[in-house]
Amino acid sequence: MTTTPPAEIGMPLEEVDTPALLVDLDAFERNLDRMATALEGSPVRLRPHSKTHKCAVIGRMQIARGAVGVCCQKVGEAEAMVDGGIDDVLVSNEVVGARKLDRLAALSRRARVAVCVDDPGQVAAIDAAAARFDTTLSVLVEINNGAGRCGVEPGRPAVDLARRIADAPRLRFGGLQAYQGRAQHIRDHAERRAAIDHAVALTRDTVEQLAAAGLECEIVGGAGTGTFRFEAASGVFNELQAGSYVFMDADYGRNLDAGGGPFSEFEHSLFVYATVMSKPDSGRAYLDAGLKAFSVDQGMPLVADFDGITVTRASDEHANLDLGGAGANIAVGDKIRLVPGHCDPTVNLYDWYVGIRNGRVESLWPIAARGAAR
């Protein structure tokens, strides 16, 4: 069931029903602009990750500012993006299973579609799906450049797999997927850079081995919000896949910049809006938003707009507030904004973004790929 929107266009913020997922449109647009400015004049393309926002409206705004398309993590996300008007999608992930591969091949008949592999056995499966739909698919080799998750090892194993793709009748070798996910949240700037220096070296060596074997990489893709400037300057990567920069979750705010201060290149623009539903005493209160309204995998959300109030715990439908000395400022019925610890899984809990500007609802955008885990 898609839920009804929690607001109407034109409504003052205070009337938005809760829990709701708010986008501060000014902050959000500044984030989009900052990324576009950061890459201005660079040969490196931006292909932002739509797993963050799951919303083709936002994807099209990114493309309008220069992005070449979007990344997706699931076929269902790719379908939602293409249905929403985006014609170039890279599934930056392995896709396993004939039903999913059929959907991917079908999608490639109406958009530019690429996908990743890290297993020789999967090349034939993707080729067979492409044949069933009389199409061709671009396939990237995912390499493990330090994250230690999926991906073949850099160098020779990557070349062998790329050769197998190039030899498949319905497939085109599309390049390398080289995302160092573990590096994104390394707090210290120098350590984070060192992790990417290592990833870049492995990736560069693999690109060179591929070239020596006559295999050119149309895409060398990777990078997230925590490291994109390093990959952009690498001379090896030509596509950046940052996603979180549009919203900036609380966890990214704990990264440090080169000067040791908090990473502040982007602003928090996504908020969970919640109502104080109980205040048993002056020191504590409870919100009508809990584990089903925000993800806690990267810690509790932060309270915006009030100093000294913290979320100490969450249960299914409650967040526990420690009011500190601010108890007098909070009453039952008040609505407050929370900054999610981790935006991506939080967004996946909602059907609608409520866009706010100048204290008023300006947009209601469907989160069309909410729940699109297949």
Q: Which residues bind a copy of itself (CB under 8 A)?
A: 1-3, 6, 17-19, 51, 73-74, 76, 80, 93-97, 99-100, 118-119, 121-122, 144, 149-153, 181, 275-280, 286, 288-289, 291-293, 295-297, 314-318, 320, 332-333, 342, 344-345, 348-351, 366-374
Q: How far apart, in whole angstroms, are the C-alpha atoms of residue 166 and residue 56?
A: 31
Q: How far is the CB of 351 from a copy of itself (least distance, A)?
A: 6
Q: How far is the CB of 254 from a copy of itself (least distance, A)?
A: 17
Q: Based on CB atoms, which residue is closest to a copy of itself, 73 or 138? A: 73
Q: Based on CB atoms, which residue is closest to a copy of itself, 44 or 361? A: 361
DSSP string, 12-42: BGGGS-SSEEEEEHHHHHHHHHHHHHHTTT-
Q: Based on CB atoms, which residue is closest to a copy of itself, 148 or 262? A: 148
Q: What is the number of alpha carbons within 13 Å of residue 223 lying toward its C-beta? A: 28
Q: Based on CB atoms, which residue is closest to a copy of itself, 61 or 272? A: 272
Q: How far is the CB of 174 from a copy of itself (least distance, A)?
A: 18
Q: Based on CB atoms, which residue is closest to a copy of itself, 211 or 292? A: 292
Residue from 163, 155, 160, 111 nearest 137 by CA: 111
Q: How far is the CB of 36 from a copy of itself (least distance, A)?
A: 24
φ/ψ (deg, to 5) at 184: -60, -35
List of residues 6+ apart from 201 with CB closer than 8 A: none
194 secondary structure, DSSP code: H
Q: How far apart, in whole angstroms, are the C-alpha atoms of residue 192 and residue 183?
A: 6
Q: How far is the CB of 148 from a copy of itself (least distance, A)?
A: 8
Q: Based on CB atoms, which residue is closest to a copy of itself, 130 or 285? A: 285
Strand order in the sheet with 88-94: 45-46, 239-240, 219-222, 171-177, 137-142, 112-117, 88-94, 70-72
Handedness of CA 346, 352, 356, 360 (dihedral sign): negative
Strand (E) or helix (H) holding 321: strand 318-322
Q: How far is the CB of 345 from a copy of itself (least distance, A)?
A: 4
